[in-house]
Structure 1
């Protein structure tokens, strides 16, 4: 199935266009929710108690059709400093933000904290809205906000002065959002699904309903997904996007899924629904830190925010900008994932890029320093060649669950196993050396059993030893022989 192109139907129904998703950000009471209401014509979908009090405590959701015909969904986040975790749950899965700054109050500490989180997550797309421009001249607030934003991942975003009360600037803001939506990347609809749940409740008929931002991939009625971290398999009984029931939907989209077979109490915010067999479920990752302090100055206990999840982690510095994170719960991750580390006590954040989801143990003396030197040369998003070089030999499926494609340089051992060419040549030389040493130590028992050879080389499967036993090495009756050893006629076996 080819990736969707902008404007094509992604559900198999004519007229169902690609949806993009934007999260709000900014200081509390700077008009984010009022702006969403003015842009969409509806209140952000949140509990009735919040609407009565006029105070945003949780995530809200609304959507609209832009002048181009494209649909845009909003995730409205709380601005109060006590609800940073909730704010990050809303921003964590979206590709763009609408940053609000009030003209009559200007830049505020919570605005800065939200922008720091956006920068640490590496969000590169957005629009700056100077709100409440009917209450004060927006010029100063606009200039101040542009200066603050320019030095972050958002860079020189488009800025608009607007008033949700009078309607001033709403047309200009809508046009800016339309241009933003046109610039956003269209994700691969064939990518593995990872839907971070940001809300869950019991729907009609006692079915479990979960909502979230589908960043990529496709979910269809009848699909089987894995609920993490519990590991249960669940069935999708219904799909909805923008209030419309669908047979299937592709990311990016705000979606609601009706699930069958969900254990009670295991599907709340921070859980994830993923494609089975397509993600590494791990409690240990090596990361590169960015934005803020060197890894050695970060707290040893922090909170990792990715998607809607907020997970306590232990941090072990490796190099100046690399660290080992130990998570207290298993998360579905890929190499190249971006996340945020937060120290609530200091209100400090740091962005991280996941370099390895299957890192080596660091138990030997000097192992941490050696690992730091190795990671120093890695890019923020290692590719399949880099990963295969580190592991030497991998099953094809191992590369996929780590989030990497098989590199063209990989040596195909058979239909299942891949090897780094340099590592494979080294293994062949090591096997020859092991056979020579075995022959010296056991002159009356020539030949090394396949299982012994596998263990000495640290290989995961005996079939790999069979493939290594190429001339001048010989294979017979489950043993590998050095060239000088008498073994009779050669033969091949394919033991597992």
Structure 2
């Protein structure tokens, strides 16, 4: 349960100055900042005030405009608050804009709040309370507490504060370790301080000195200073109203609708698959015939145009004009400015696959219909087969941060493992002298099944212990532990010859006589059973022994002197000396002579 801290409430419902009057009476501060608002008695922009509850908790209020002309601003205030105070005037009753505000609250998933009938001194509040109860039925505020107040007489104001405080105390504490996504509702410049932005921090923690990312530009910024509810603080935890002084960004590059993000923790996207639900009655089916082809999409304080492609009865794909930083489960509001139609949407996939083949849209709709918990990665893995762990986390799926970099769907992994086992067996039958299937060829044998950037370690994890990865190749278990019999016999004969004359490297003809093909030689070198020295094949450790035998020579020495010390020919001595030069065991002089380096002595 929440202890005394802070809580943020969006105040919606009225088209006139009733909300502002109520908030002024509750907090002693006027939420209307603009002179035109005071002159017209009409809220035109978001207002922010706060007060202290008896428990010591700070109650912050976001006052939103009521007039239809300012809906974009209204939605920016509603979308980021964890709770709502829906106000209805006793002398006016339920209005059209109240329906729109309730629809927006429902679309954005606001399920906590109060119904307040204001101006109870001007009319009997009972009819307005009954009407509000009827209109909120079937919405997230269906069972919200309701009470009547009068800002003029003060009746009910203490009870309202107590009710808000009690409601806040019942809510679970937001995760202080959650990634930050602070939707910005104001940006301005302060003399001597620079750029300041404000917003409602829903979860996570902001701190002075913290490195963040400014979306949608993706620019890095740093928190220079921080205030919450008018007080300077070193850190703030959601829910709270905050003002953030930023480094590294001029004020003209920041605007409402931008967001401060924990770097790498959110998925910026221009395409998103969503589940549609009408507002304010989620149980009904969406009328696809009324869906706008190009709706406005509201998320947090951001609004962008989009193209909508229906996929199924309650599913659609949105192509966004401006990218939004999203997680699965995020709530969006789709608006048709022409018809005043409002439709809520839940993000099911912020990185959807392309729809290229015939019937792909219907197949996609069936997949989306099966999604019960958007944050469960199993549904996505069932569709994609595999995904990068960090990418899933950035998209909002619940994944353990520890473990392999890639996650695989069990059924998909089984199919790939079977295909890989078949490919390894085919390669071993075709290349008995070198039965390991190269990783590059393994990827080629599984076209379209694996991403190009899937690391070899992830492929090895997919293959499992039955197909061990050795020296960049997949083997059957038996082949990984032993040499092919013919290769083993040929190796034994060659090593016996080299034991008698370590530096008399066999010629290609001799290797062929022994039955050692290029494939077999490559296998023996990878296994460490032979050492390759340029075109030569010698016993393991040959270069180290060769350097040791040169120590008896007078320094510097010639190629011929080295060949005599090794009891071999110039055919062997030259590539062997070049190998020693490359290993920095010898140093070549301009006249062609060499000297052992300190490392070789």
Q: TM-score, normalised by structure 1?
A: 0.89
Picking from 242, 249, 264, the partner of 2:229 is: 242
| Structure 1 residue 134: Cα displacement | 1.3
- Whose relative contact order is higher, 1 or 2, with alpha carbons under 8 Å and at least 6 apart? 1
Q: Which range is displaced more, 106-115 or 214-223?
A: 106-115
CA deviation map 1:238-278 (0-9, x unaligned): 11011000000000000000001114532110000000011
Shift of residue 326, structure 1, vs aligned partner: 1.1
Q: Could you tell me how far 1:170 is from its partner in structure 2?
A: 1.4
Match for residue 343 of structure 2 among 347, 350, 357:
350
Select 1:479's aligned residue among 465, 473, 480.
Answer: 473
CA distance in 1 between counterparts of 2:343 and 2:373 reads: 15
Partner of 1:466: 460
Alpha-carbon distance in 2 for matches of 1:32, 1:200: 24
Partner of 2:274: 287
Report which stretch shifted further, 135-144 or 93-102: 135-144
Q: Secondary structure at the match of 2:252?
A: coil
Structure 1 CA distance for aligned equivalents of residues 185 and 465 of structure 2: 58
2:147 corresponds to: 160
Q: Secondary structure at the match of 2:29?
A: coil
The answer to which structure has the higher helix fraction is: 2
- More divergent stretch after superposition (473-482 vs 59-68): 473-482
SS of 1:111's partner is: helix
Q: Which of 283, 289, 296 is the aligned partner of 2:288?
A: 296
Residue from 297, 306, 315 that aligns with 2:299: 306
Q: Does 1:451 align with 2:440?
A: yes
Given the superposition, is the C-alpha separation of residues 490 and 132 from structure 1 closer, same or farther in structure 2, using an over 3 Å criterion? Answer: farther
Show the counterpart of 2:552. Answer: none
Pairing of 1:187-266 with structure 2 (within 5 A): 187-266=174-253
Q: 1:472 to 1:55 in 2, by over 3 A?
A: closer
Rounded to whole Å, the distance in 2 between the matches of 1:346 and 1:280 is 31
Whole-Å separation in 1 of the counterparts to 2:9 and 2:433? 73
Deviation at 1:290, TM superposition (A): 1.1
Alignment of 1:390 with 2:390, yes or no, is no
SS at match of 1:74: strand
Matched, 1:421 2:417: no
Structure 1 residue corresponding to 2:397, chosen from 392, 404, 408: 404
CA distance in 2, matches of 1:300, 1:72: 40
Secondary structure at the aligned position of 2:306 is classed as strand
What do the CA deviations read for 1:365-394 (whole angstroms, capped 9, x no partner)? Answer: 222222111111111523133333333333
Give the alignment partner of residue 84 of structure 1, picking from 57, 61, 71.
71
For the structure 1 residues 218 and 490, does the alpha-carbon distance in structure 2 shift closer, same or farther, using more than 3 Å as the test?
farther
SS at match of 1:115: helix
**Does the 8 A contact of 1:30 with 1:101 survive in 2?**
no
**Distance in 2 of aligned mates of 1:185 and 1:40:** 25
In the alignment, structure 1 residue 368 sits paired with structure 2 residue 368: no
**How many angstroms apart in 1 are the aligned matches of 2:36 and 2:406?**
57
- Inter-CA distance 304–367: structure 2 relative to 1 (3 Å threshold): same
- Flag the 1:448–1:362 CA change in 2: closer, same or farther, 3 A: farther
Counterpart of 2:156 (choices 162, 169, 191) is 169
Structure 2 distance, partners of 1:299, 1:484, is: 62
Deviates more, 1:204-213 or 1:389-398: 389-398
Give the secondary-structure state (helix, strand or coil) at the position aligned to 1:205. Answer: coil
Between the aligned partners of 1:266 and 1:295, the Cα distance in structure 2 is: 40
Cα 1:483/1:247, change in 2 over 3 Å: closer
Query: Does residue 318 of structure 1 match 2:311?
Result: yes
- Distance in 2 separating the partners of 1:489 and 1:386: 45
Q: Counterparts of 1:68-79 in structure 2 under 5 Å? A: 68-79=55-66
Distance in 1, matches of 2:422 and 2:293, equals 44
1:435 CA displacement: 3.9
Change (3 A) 1:179 1:443: same
Aligned partners of 2:106 and 2:140 also within 8 Å: yes
Computing the radius of gyration over CA atoms, which structure comes out larger, 1 or 2?
A: 2
Match of 1:10 in 2: none
Q: 1:117 to 1:471 in 2, by over 3 A?
A: closer
Report matched runs for 1:333-348 at 5 Å: 333-348=326-341
Indicate the residue corresponding to 2:568 in structure 1.
none
Q: Please report how far the alpha carbon of residue 111 of structure 1 lies from its aligned counterpart in structure 2 after TM superposition.
A: 1.1
- Which aligned pairs between 1:90-109 and structure 2 lie closer than 5 A? 90-109=77-96
- Distance in 2, matches of 1:272 and 1:475, equals 45
Q: TM-score, normalised by structure 2?
A: 0.74
Match of 2:124 among 129, 137, 142: 137
Q: How many residue pairs end up in the alignment?
A: 476
Gaps in structure 2 of 5+ consecutive residues: 280-284, 485-519, 528-601
CA distance in 2 between partners of 1:426 and 1:174 (Å): 60
Match of residue 420 from structure 2: 431
How far the C-alpha of 1:50 sits from its partner, in A, is 2.5
Q: Deviations over 1:336-371 (max 9, x none)?
A: 111111111111111111111121111122222221
CA distance in 1, matches of 2:525, 2:420: 17
In structure 2, do the counterparts of structure 1 residues 77 and 449 end up closer, same or farther at CA, with 3 Å as the change threshold? same
Shift in alpha-carbon separation, 1:20–1:490, aligned structure 2, 3 A: farther
What is the alpha-carbon distance in structure 2 between the residues aligned to residue 436 and residue 247 of structure 1? 63
Contact preservation (8 Å) 2:273, 2:350:
yes
CA distance in 2, matches of 1:231, 1:46: 31
Which of 89, 103, 109 lines up with 1:116 in the alignment? Answer: 103
Counterpart position of 1:14? none
Tell me which of 329, 332, 348 is aligned to 2:325.
332
